[in-house]
Amino acid sequence: MPSAREIRTKLRRREADERRKREDAVVTAAEAAATAVKTRADNDAALREAFEAALKSGEDTARVATLRETFEAALADNPQVVEAERAAGRAVIAATAFKVTQVELVELTEQRVEDLRRWAQMAKLAEPVGASLSGGEDSGRKSPARPVASGFAVVSHPVRDDDSVVGDVSAAG
């Protein structure tokens, strides 16, 4: 029979391991979110540059064709941007599997809750059921009873400057 000291030591070790996993999940989510934001910004800058170049062209038919091509490129998401956003979504889903709340992710990643929600939804829609739970890797974790993205509740009221919490987090777990 283990002594009280041994039990406390095991519990402390287990809690420290869980805390490290949560921290790692949040760091991964923050890095993936930053990559997604930068990739989207780079893509938008390239599109803006293409639009301005098209507007400066001298020939009307060439300008119309260039503008049409640029508009079509803007409408069809760049695969690199989509993949970066899906990776961010997978990281967000992995963090929620470690019981990191919506408020914590928004606070620690400094990303908008809408972006985190959208990325998580993109990842869920793009992958087979259960594949996104581990961020694309087989971590051996079992599927939680509730959907992992359920921590991202719909904002129930408009955000005001005096609000200390963004949206309704009652479903945040």
Tokens representing 106 are: 């928004």
Q: Phi and psi of 127, rounded to 5°?
A: -120, 155
Is 165 part of a structural domain of the chain?
no
For residue 51, name the pLDDT band (cuts at 50, 70, 90).
confident
| Residue 86: domain span | 4-135+143-151
The span from the CA of 125 to the CA of 159, in Å, is: 28
Residue 129 pLDDT: 57
Is 157 part of a structural domain of the chain?
no
Domains of the chain: total: 1
pTM over the 0.75 mark: no
The answer, yes or no, to whether residue 113 has pLDDT greater than 70, is yes
For residue 171, name the pLDDT band (cuts at 50, 70, 90).
very low
Mean pLDDT across the chain, nearest whole number?
76
For residue 163, name the pLDDT band (cuts at 50, 70, 90).
very low
Is 47 part of a structural domain of the chain?
yes
Residue 88 contacts residue 119 (beta carbons within 8 Å): yes
The answer, yes or no, to whether residue 7 has pLDDT greater than 80, is yes
